Structure 1
Amino acid sequence: MPWKKSGAMEQRTEFGLRAMQTLNFRALCQQYGISAKTGYKWRERFWRKGLAGMEEESRRPKSHSKQLPEEEVCEIVRLKLAHLAWGPRKIRELYLRRHGEVASESTFKRVLERTSLTQKRRRRRAPEAGRLSSGREAAAVNEVWTVDFKGWWRNGDKRCEPLTVRDEYSRYLLEVRAVEDARSETVRKRFEQIFERHGLPAAIRSDNGSPFASRQGLLGLSRLSAWWVVLGIDLERGRPGHPQDNAGHERMHQDITRELEAVGECDQAALDVWRESFNYERAHEALGMRCPGEVYLASERKYEGTPEDLDYPKMCSRRVSPKGLISLEGQPLFLSTSLGGWSVGLKPIAEDLMEVWFGRLLLGQVNLATSNFFRADIRPKKLQMKQKKCNQ
């Protein structure tokens, strides 16, 4: 409207007063240089609101054609309340799966922000993380499984410390089990059932705690991890005190903390329901907004039970006693009690010098002249480099 920049309010007021009395409305509009449509608008506002109606109003639309109906907003809020730890992107994917048509991600963010059900994620720069292993990262399902115990919590007098096993590539939760204790025998029984259902992975990543590893044992081997080696499973470990080396698994534990521990759920039925939702309802950005259950497939390596012993075709072998000893030229040599009952391979590499192997793991070297055993995990870098090449 071509009102003069100076005194536009006065001109509109003058027009409003004259418009209420004029007999030739179009001529009045032409006198002020406005269209009849604009003139009718200002006359209507002057009649309804008086002088206040002559003020400029915001041009922001009061509504739009794509505005969400109230029932859709309620459904978004309901889904969020059922999954408080999920962000707008995952809530939108769940809505899409249930209802077919869905609004944009920005719309979901706006709805959840207005209802104070979401907040911007704080991000921090991750520190450099190294591993005391090959650093293998899963490029396919069943290439690497991760395992840990979720930190315990109580519900009344009941303690819950679930064992969690996860396929690293697909994020599929293979097990969330409230076991009675963390002893090697108990955890091994659970893994036998997992292997029967899903087959064998190429490698298992764990921390350095019991029962997955032994802080003082040879190469950190425990009875449980030695059994994994016998089954042909490679070992991957994070650095002591660095949970970020198994970051994906720890992130999943945070979800358990928020969604189960926070409400005091600790029975196996609640864990099973949560695992089902995690695998088949919760979409993951890293999977192209697919659920883990849509990606994971059972391993082609079938579990056929535990072999009686390890075979070393090109080496001589010795059976490790329950006390962790082998006999070499009539002399007892201590290796590790974790290897009790299994055979190790002995490979001559020089005069009076032999390598000691357990499966694909180089345990160290033994000097036959002095009957001294040099552990691979505390030997010079030359021996450690050879171990790394063998694992590749």
Structure 2
Amino acid sequence: MTIRNKQIITAVVHGSMNTRSAAAHFNVSERWVKELIRRYAFEGETAYEARSKRPKTSPGRTPEATRERIVTLREILVAQGLDAGAETIQTHLETEGISPPSRATIHRILRQADLVSDQPQKRPKSSLIRFEAAQPNEMWQADFTHWRLADGSDTEILDFIDDYSRFLISIRAYRRVTGRNVAEQFAMACDEHGRPQSSLTDNGLVFTTRFTGKTQGDTAAKNQFEKLLQKWDVKQINGSPNHPQTQGKIERFHRTLKLWLTAQPRATSVATLNKQLSEFQQIYNERRPHKAAGRKPPSIRYRAVPKAVPKPLPQEEVRQRNDVVDKDGKLTIRYGGKLRHLGMGRTYSGIRVEMYVNDREVTVVNKKTGEILRYFKIDPSKNYQKAISS
């Protein structure tokens, strides 16, 4: 470009070409020829040099102090084991009184500092369909997860979170979570935060005994937690077998919890771990911004609107039937005034079974061994029913 500029200037200033003919000859605009002549008049041979098209000022550029704070916040949050994405950093900047750039700009700044990498393989958020309770205490999710102490021994951490606000209702570590632990921790959480309208858990034995086949008289036996829910009119909801996505919020919570625990000194005892969990609960509820809570700490959303309360529940009716699987591998049951056929499979032809019927749910148990053979959820629109699990 330097040689071309010199040729254009020479042709006009020292030669016989005017600006229009020079523009046509060198295949450039006449405006550009005039600009070169103007530069030459004021700057001399410096006008030959190529120049950057970058503007002398960048009024839209993020201030350097803000860029440095973005990088520092990212490093601090990662070291603490807390979420450190662009939205979280944006919230922290607002809290500090700094006008934040857009999420895309923050992400670009982090990428330029080699602190993040794009993940195009992630499932698009628009493809996700989520259920969310309409108010606090409408539903609590509960589950437990494993965590190892410094000596390598295992512990189990039981937690309850509010579905609407993601508020961490209760969290505690045990050597092993028992049904008694679940009932006692739930009762203490209710004393502090009020009773929820419903409870969502998986089908673990500490939460439900519906797959054990045990009975008390003509009804299915219940564990301490189930009895407490029934006593307080808290609706019990259990996720579909082999489908953990139903409890997706608490599964995601466990990832956040373990990310934070990994950044802390490894606890040497259950008591030490519980002190860490108490600290985490305060950070998670009161300080950490949560996307689902409008980028505010969950405590703000949990306390912002009135809480739901339990509603009187109808008395549960569990029917028990004895039957034999027919030669075609089917059982029959009447539901909604129609005879329904349950597909057991020919493998079980001739086997004597017990069927526990709770509204649409049917659990089929081997009468001799007590083994759960099939689980059905009646589809009222169909006569033939396929098993959900075996």
TM-score of the pair, normalised by structure 2: 0.64
1:163-218 deviations in Å (ceiling 9; x for gaps): 11100011111122223431222232222221111000011101111311234146
The match for 2:227 is 226
The amino acid of 1:190's aligned partner reads Q
Rounded to whole Å, the distance in 1 between the matches of 2:221 and 2:77 is 39
2:316 to 344, 358, 361: 361
CA contact (8 A) 2:138 2:309 kept: no
Is 1:189 aligned to residue 189 of structure 2? no
* 1:13 paired to 2:6: yes
Q: Partner of 2:230: helix, strand, or coil?
A: helix
Residue pairs, 1:334-353, within 5 angstroms = none
One-letter code aligned to 1:194: A
- Between the aligned residues of both structures, percent identity stands at 21
Whether 2:273 is the aligned partner of 1:292: answer no
- Measured against aligned partners, the alpha-carbon deviations of 1:195-247 in whole angstroms (never above 9, x if no partner) come to 11100001110111131123414668422222222111111111222211111
* RMSD after superposition: 4.2
| Equivalent residue in structure 2 for 1:171, among 141, 166, 169 | 166
* Paired residues for 1:264-283 under 5 Å: 265-266=266-267, 267-283=273-289
Q: CA deviation at 1:296?
A: 0.4
SS at match of 2:170: strand
Residues 154 and 264, structure 1, Cα contact 8 Å, conserved in 2: no
Q: What letter matches 1:252 in structure 2?
A: F
Contact 1:199 1:300 in 2 (8 A): no
Deviations 1:255-280 (A, max 9, x none): 12222236554423332332223223
Residues 277 and 63 of structure 1, relative CA distance in 2, 3 Å threshold: farther
Summarize the Cα distance change of 1:43–1:172 in structure 2 as closer, same or farther, 3 Å threshold: farther
Name the CA distance, whole Å, in 2 between partners of 1:222 and 1:260.
Answer: 31
Query: What SS is found at the alignment partner of 1:208?
Result: coil
Q: Specify the alignment match of 1:74 in structure 2.
A: 68
For 2:115 and 2:70, how far apart are their aligned partners in 1?
11
Structure 1 segments unaligned to the other structure (5+ residues): 1-7, 130-134, 303-311, 313-357, 387-392
Matched position secondary structure for 2:317: strand
1:116 matched to 2:114? The reply is yes
Distance 1:71 1:363 in 2: 66
TM-score, reference length from structure 1 = 0.64
For 2:122, the aligned partner's letter is: R
Q: Name the CA shift for 1:286/1:15 in 2 (closer, same or farther; >3 Å).
A: same
Alignment of 1:326-337 (within 5 A): none
The aligned amino acid for 1:375 is Y
CA-CA distance at 1:63 after TM superposition = 5.1
Report the alpha carbon displacement of residue 251 of structure 1 after superposing the two structures with TM.
Answer: 0.9
Aligned residue pair count: 306
Q: Distance in 2 between matches of 1:226 and 1:46?
A: 94
Q: Is contact 2:137-2:309 (8 Å) kept? A: no
- In 1, are the aligned partners of 2:158 and 2:171 still within 8 Å (CA)? yes
CA drift of 1:103 comes to 1.7
